[in-house]
Amino acid sequence: MMYKCSFNDIHCSVNDFVPFTSFLYGACYTFNAALKNNTNRNILYANEYGGDGKLSIGLYIHSHQYVLHLPSGFGAIALVHGNTQLPNIEAAGIELAPGQRHKLGYKKKTTYLLPSPYTPCTKKISPNMQAMFEYYNNTNYGYSEMLCYQLCGQVYAYEQCGCVNPILWNGRKLYISSMNQVVFAPLCEFGKMCYKEKIGELLISSSLMKSYCSECLQECAIENFIIQTSSLSQPGEWEMEKIKQFVENSTIPLATNWSCTWQDEIRKNYLTINVVRETIPVASQYYTSKYGDIVQINLFNQPTIIISNPDFADYILRRNGKNYTLRFGNSLGLEYLGMKNKGIIWNRNIQRWKYQRLNFFQKALNNKLLDDAKYVSNDATDYVLKHLDKYEIETNIIDTMDLLRSITFTITCHLFLDLPIGIISIEKTKYYVNSIVQYFKAWEYFLLKPTQIYDEKQTNKHQKSIKQLNNVVNELISKRVMNNNCLFINSLLNALNNQQITKEEMNQCILEMLIAGTDTSSVTMFYFLLALCDRKELEEQLLKELKENSYQILINGLKESMRFKPVGPVIMRCTINDDIYNNTHIKNGTNIIINLVDMHRRNEYFVQGNQFNLINVEDKDLSNTNNEKNVFLPFGIGPKECVGRWLAKVEMEIIIEQLILNYSFKRANGTKTLEELQTRWDIAQQPTDPGYMLIQKR
C-alpha cells in the first residue's frame, strides 16, 4: 500500500499511477506514463512546479499477506524508464529491501539515429506490438526492437507448437500472416520444451529471422537510464506512530500479534523510494530545498558547502574571492581533458592561471575588441544565414542550436584566431561545432564521475572526442591569416616563441576560448527564442522596439533567459586557505557549490521567480559589483568571473536583433516549450533533445 507520494514536493495519489501486471511480480504501477487521447492527465516534466524532478514514494508491503512458499524475498521492485517505453521490469528492475530509504539517482541518455534514407531505423508499431500494449491500460508506448523480436518469436512458436511462451502471456494476441488473421494463442505448459526449442531455432536461422522478424529494426531514438543507488536505514522513531495509524486504518488485516510487535512489523515492511536526477546541480537543489540556503555535506568523500544565500555567495566570489579561485574536480579527469595546470577554466596552478588569464584572455578582451565585435557579429550572422538550408532537417525546419553555435563559432574564430569570415566552409563549421559539443560531454564525464566508476568503453569514446577537438585547434591555427590585429593569438604565439608558455598551454587556451565562446551564449539565445515562440505579444513588442532602435526588451529578455535557465546552474569553487564566514568554519580544501538555480528563483529577490517574465530582471544590473547582496550572477563575480561576459552580451544582442528583424520562429517536430524543455544538469544546463524550429522570412 502507498503511504505517501509527492512529485517536486506536490502531493500525488494512486490516480497518478497506471496499473499493469508482470508475469514475475504480479501487480505493478507506472508513474507518469504517456497515455493516449487523454486530456485530463498531462505528462509531468522534471521542472514541473519549479522543481528538479524528484519523485518520493512511501510504501508498506504487508509481507504477512504474501503467498506462502512463492516469494524468494520481500520488498519492492523499481525501474526508471521513459514514459513512452514499455517497462521491462522483469529484466531491469531494481530490488529494494524494506526498512530502508532508497535513493535512485539517474542520468538519462538518448541516442538519435537519422531517419531513412540515412539509417534503417523505425518507429512503426506492428499490429502484434499494438495488441500487447492493450494490456497496459491506454498507455501510449512506442516501438521497441527487443519487444519486436520477442513477438516474432511468439508467432513462430505458435505456428510450430500451437501455443506460445507462457512467460510472455501478454504477448499472445497475434497476427498470423500465413493465416491472414488475428488469433488469441494458448499458453504452452512450462514443462514442455517445444516453444523453447522453436524460439531457439528461429534465433539461429538467418532465413527464418528474415521471414518472421524483418520488421524488427533499430529504434530511431534509444533511451538509456544510468542508475546509481544508495540507501539509509529508516523509519525514524518520530515516524513510527503515523505509520502505525496508517496501517491500522487500512482495510488489510493486521499481522498476527500486531499489538505487541507493531514496531518490528513496520521496520520489516516499510520503505521509501526517492527518484532524482543524479548530477551535482540536482544534488545541490535537493539539499538546498530540504535543509536551507547553507548546507554542509560530504560529497565524493570531501567536505562540501552548498550555498544559495546571496551574501555568503558574494563573500566567496567577490569579497574574499582570492581565497576561492580554484575549482574542485576529478584530478585524473583533468589530465584526460588536458586541463590540468593549463588554460584558465580548471587550472589549479594559481600562478599559471593568473598569468594566462591576465596576459591572453583579459588583454584580448579590451574595449577595441568589444567595438569590433558589433560588426563581426553582424557579418557572421549574415554569412551563416546565407547558408540557412544547410541547417534544415526538412523544409524551413532548422536545428536552432546548430545554427546559433555556428554563428558564435564564426565570431570567435574571427576575433581571436585571425580567421576571416567565410574562410571556413559551413560544412567544416558544423563539423568543428559538433567537435565542441562532443568535448563538452567528455568534460562532464571526466570531471563529475568518480574515477573508480569510469567505464572503459565510455572512457575510450570520450578520449577520442578530446583528441578530435585538439586536432581542430591545430587545423584552425594552420588556417589563420597572419596580421598584427589579433591580440589573442599573437600574444600566445609571442609567449610561445619566448618560452613563457608551452605548446600544450597555448593549445589549451585556444581550445577553451573556442568552447566558452561558442556554447554558452548559443544556449542562452536558444532559450530566449524558445520563450518567444510561445509569447507572441512579447515577440511583437520586441520587433516593434528593434525597428525603433530601442533595446530594453532585448536586453531584459536575454537577462531573464540567463536567470530562468542559467547555462551554468552552479558555480564550483575550492577553498585555498582556512576561512570563516559568520561562524561557519571553512577548512582548506572544502568544496563550495553556489546554487544559482535556487538563488535565481527565489520570490524574495524576483517578483515571479518560478516564471519566465521580464519583470524579474528589470532592476537587475549585470555590472552591479558594489552591492553586498548580489542575487543575479549569471556570469559569476569577482576575480574568477566569466572573462568574456561583455563580449557575450554584445554578440547575443546583435545576433538576436538580426534574427528577430528578419525571421519568425515557431516550435517544430516535438520541441517542447521553455517550461517543459528537458535539460541536462551537469557542468552546464543544456537541452537534452534537439531544438527544432520552423523559421520563416518576415
The H or E element that residue 476 is part of is helix 456-479
Q: Is the pLDDT of residue 595 over 60?
A: yes
345 band by pLDDT with thresholds 50, 70 and 90: very high
- Tally: H helices and E strands in the chain: 22, 24
Length of the chain: 698
226 band by pLDDT with thresholds 50, 70 and 90: confident
Rounded Cα–Cα distance for residues 565 and 528 (Å): 10
At 581 the pLDDT is 94
Q: Is the pLDDT of residue 68 over 90?
A: no
Which positions ≥6 away from 291 have C-beta within 8 Å? none
- Cis peptide bond N-terminal to 71, omega within 30: no
Rounded Cα–Cα distance for residues 667 and 644 (Å): 30
Cell of 518: 561558442
Which of 207-216, 540-549, 622-631 has the least mean pLDDT?
622-631
Which of 86-95, 294-303, 631-640 has the least mean pLDDT?
294-303
Task: Give the pLDDT mean for 50-79.
Answer: 78
Mean pLDDT of the chain: 87
The model's pLDDT over 144-203, given as tens digits with 9 standing for 90+, comes to 998 899 999 999 999 999 999 988 888 888 888 878 888 899 999 988 889 999 999 999
Any idea where the domains of the chain sit in the sequence?
Answer: 1-107+224-278, 114-219, 330-566+638-697
350-354, 450-454, 514-518: range with highest mean pLDDT: 350-354
Rounded Cα–Cα distance for residues 611 and 123 (Å): 35
At 286 the pLDDT is 58
Task: Give the pLDDT mean for 399-409.
Answer: 96
Rounded Cα–Cα distance for residues 88 and 138 (Å): 17
DSSP letters of 387-409? TGGGGEEETTEEEHHHHHHHHHH
Q: Is the pLDDT of residue 288 over 80?
A: no
289 band by pLDDT with thresholds 50, 70 and 90: low
- Selection from 505, 513, 504 nearest residue 486 by Cα: 513
47 band by pLDDT with thresholds 50, 70 and 90: low
- Selection from 299, 324, 328, 298 nearest residue 312 by Cα: 324
Which of 111 and 539 is assigned the larger pLDDT?
539
Which of 50-59, 60-69, 319-328, 372-381 has the least mean pLDDT?
60-69
Task: Give the pLDDT mean for 111-139.
Answer: 80
Q: Angle at which helices 456-479 and 503-533 pack, to 10 degrees?
A: 100
Exposed/middle/buried for 612, CB within 10 Å: 0-12, 13-18, 19+? buried
Task: Give the pLDDT mean for 627-649.
Answer: 87
At 686 the pLDDT is 76
Exposed/middle/buried for 690, CB within 10 Å: 0-12, 13-18, 19+? middle
CATH superfamily of 1-107+224-278: Acid-sensing ion channels like domains (2.60.470.10)
363 band by pLDDT with thresholds 50, 70 and 90: very high
- Do the beta carbons of residue 117 and residue 148 sit within 8 Å? no
At 54 the pLDDT is 84
**28 annotated among ligand-binding-site residues:** no
Rounded Cα–Cα distance for residues 512 and 337 (Å): 11
The model's pLDDT over 231-283, given as tens digits with 9 standing for 90+, comes to 878 787 888 899 999 999 988 888 888 989 999 998 999 999 999 876 655 56
Q: Is the pLDDT of residue 79 over 60?
A: yes
Q: What is the largest CA-CA distance in the chain?
A: 90
Rounded Cα–Cα distance for residues 529 and 407 (Å): 15
The model's pLDDT over 408-462, given as tens digits with 9 standing for 90+, comes to 999 999 999 999 999 999 999 999 999 999 998 888 888 766 676 677 888 899 9
At 291 the pLDDT is 56
- Do the beta carbons of residue 674 and residue 562 sit within 8 Å? no
At 51 the pLDDT is 61
Q: What is the CA radius of gyration of the chain?
A: 29
Which of 586 and 36 is assigned the larger pLDDT?
586
Rounded Cα–Cα distance for residues 664 and 267 (Å): 60
DSSP letters of 494-548? HHHHTTSS-HHHHHHHHHHHHHHHHHHHHHHHHHHHHHHHT-HHHHHHHHHHHHT
- Selection from 269, 267, 260, 257 nearest residue 1 by Cα: 269
Which of 580 and 121 is assigned the larger pLDDT?
580
- Cis peptide bond N-terminal to 235, omega within 30: yes
At 255 the pLDDT is 87
Class of domain 330-566+638-697: mainly alpha
The answer as to CATH 3.40.30.10 being correct for domain 114-219 is no
670 band by pLDDT with thresholds 50, 70 and 90: confident
The H or E element that residue 96 is part of is strand 94-96
DSSP helix/strand/coil, 163 = coil
Exposed/middle/buried for 286, CB within 10 Å: 0-12, 13-18, 19+? buried
